[in-house]
Amino acid sequence: MLDICALRADTPACQTVLHFNNAGAALMPTPVFNAVTNHLTLEQNIGGYEAARATQEDQAAFYTEFAALLNADPDEIAYAENATRAWDMAFYGLPLNPGDRILTHASDYVSNMLALLQQAQRRGLHIDLVPSNASGQIDIAALEALITPRTRLISLTHVPTQGGLINPAVEVGRIAKKYGLIYLLDACQSVGQLALNVRTVGCDILSGTGRKFLRGPRGTGFLYVRKGFLDQIDPPFIDLHSATWTGPGTYTLDPTAKRFENWESFVAGRIGLMQAVRYARQIGLENIELRISMLASALRFALGSTPGITLHDQGAQKCGIITFTKQGEDPEQIRARLHKSQINVSTTQRSSALIDFDARGITSLVRASVHYYNTEAEIGRFVDVLSG
């Protein structure tokens, strides 16, 4: 059992705000906040290069903590400034040729879709949209049926930003393996919320951000690339950190996933994100997943029995992101009204989920996302204020 009181004591804002915006940016626990600010203080006091040298152990722990979190090898982990750039560093370097086909689903993240569209136009690639099954998640049989000899890549978002569904990442991994396809998984909303294991999922590439369910600082992210797949990606940008200048006309890439990193980065953020992973692992990802699932069910149940509220979450298996609309009140109005009562939620607009929202006839949704440090009492208060 989790000691919720202790976890909330580690999260001072729990006393002043009701934070259901964990899919936007979760509240940082004190050890994460301290890790960031202590490093900044060190930089102020002794100098940035000197502070980096003094904290080499914490920086190295970034790779071992993420490796343990994902069941990966430290050499398969890279730091990135956000999830989008992490994803880009892999995607833009993939060996794709004119005529190659990419499989994706309406739940894929907007920025991934934009990159797919740009590269399809530039490089003559084709995008095949895999239909949803009756529950709204990627249809595995349809996925398999769409594979052609020119299909190279499956791009999937594990948990979409715009709803509570959990895509069947493991089943997709089995199909990718069976047909020898590259499997790129956006785990931005699942990492820190669900227990993830890259070997079980079978993805070649996985990206995530620091600020969401991992509770790290903003402006941080990470990339996982499977060891046996590293050499198939030619990073779109390289520098003196990701590559070595070996002669006047030659260079070599870093043999590890560090080939996707920049030399200059937010060192305090990197240490903060390491601390966030360590903190999550101390609580235990299975415990976190179970607690979030329990709170999400309670919130869906409470909203489901509130007059005027319509829930919009799809998927056979649902997570801690709860989306809804309310009769007679616009999602953005709801967000602003709740904010006045110290309740944080976010909204998702059509421009962030175009194909998905159009298919469901939705223009915008309220998104309430719970974390393990939330409580049933908060759910009660939330529904009271929401009903006005």
Ligand X SMILES: *Cc1c(COP(=O)(O)O)cnc(C)c1O
Least spacing, CB of residue 248 vs ligand X, in Å: 37
Place of tokens 């992101």: 321
222 binds ligand X, rule: CB under 6 A: no
Among 21, 22, 55, 84, interactor with ligand X by CB under 6 A? 84
CA distance 291 to 314: 20
The DSSP call for residue 212 is S
Residues 6+ apart with CB under 8 A from 114: none
Number of residues that bind ligand X (CB under 6 A): 12
Measured distance CA(315)–CA(388) in Å, rounded: 29
Query: Is the distance from CB of 18 to CB of 26 less than 8 angstroms?
Result: no
The yes or no reply on residue 378 touching ligand X (CB under 6 A) is no
- Residue 292 sits at φ, ψ, to 5 deg, of -65, -45
Alpha-carbon distance of 144 to 9, in angstroms, equals: 48
Tell me whether residue 294 is exposed, middle or buried, using C-beta atoms within 10 angstroms of its C-beta: 0 to 12, 13 to 18, 19 or more.
Answer: middle
Q: In the complex, what is the shortest distance from the CB of residue 80 to ligand X, in angstroms, rounded to a whole number?
A: 8
Report, in Å, the least distance between residue 347 CB and ligand X: 14
Residue 244's DSSP bridge partners are: 252
Q: Note whether 21 binds ligand X by CB under 6 A.
A: no
189 binds ligand X (CB under 6 A): yes
> Does position 43 bind ligand X by CB under 6 A?
no
Cβ pair 79, 52 in contact under 8 A:
no
188 binds ligand X (CB under 6 A): yes
Report which DSSP code applies to 318: B
Which span (34-42, 66-74, 184-192, 239-247) binds ligand X, by CB under 6 A?
A: 184-192
Judging by DSSP bridges, how do beta strands 151-157 and 182-186 pair with one another? Answer: parallel
Region binding ligand X by CB under 6 A among candidate stretches 154-162, 168-176, 308-316, 319-327:
154-162
Which residues are CB-contacts of 224 (< 8 A; sequence separation ≥ 6)?
66, 70, 72, 76, 77, 78, 198, 203, 205, 206, 207, 257
The yes or no reply on residue 221 touching ligand X (CB under 6 A) is yes
Only one of the segments 14-22, 29-37, 186-194, 319-327 lies at the binding site for ligand X (rule: CB under 6 A); that segment is 186-194
CB of 220 to ligand X, least distance (A): 8
Residue nearer to ligand X on the CB measure, 132 or 161: 161
CA 70 to centroid of chain Cα atoms: 13
Q: What residue type is assigned to position 357 of the chain?
A: F
Q: x/- string (CB under 6 A) for ligand X, residues 53-82?
A: -----------------------------x
Say whether 12 sits in a helix, a strand or coil. helix
Q: Does 161 bind ligand X (CB under 6 A)?
A: yes
Instruction: Identify which of residues 10 and 66 has a Cβ nearer to ligand X in the complex.
Output: 66
CB of residue 110 to ligand X, shortest distance in Å: 8
Residue 362 sits in the site that holds ligand X (CB under 6 A): no
Q: Please state the closest distance from residue 181 (CB atom) to ligand X, in A.
A: 20
Question: Quick one: which H or E segment has residue 218?
Answer: none
Residue 109 binds ligand X, judged by CB under 6 A: yes
| Distance of closest approach, residue 119 Cβ to ligand X, in angstroms | 17
Q: Which amino acid is at 345?
A: V
For residue 186, state whether it binds ligand X (rule: CB under 6 A): yes
Binder of ligand X out of 11, 21, 157, 348 (CB under 6 A): 157
Q: Least CB distance from residue 187 to ligand X, whole Å?
A: 8
CB of 159 to ligand X, least distance (A): 7
User: Taking the CB of residue 275, how many other CB atoms lie within 10 A of it?
Assistant: 27
Give the residues lining the site for ligand X (CB under 6 A). 82-84, 109, 157, 160-161, 186, 188-189, 209, 221
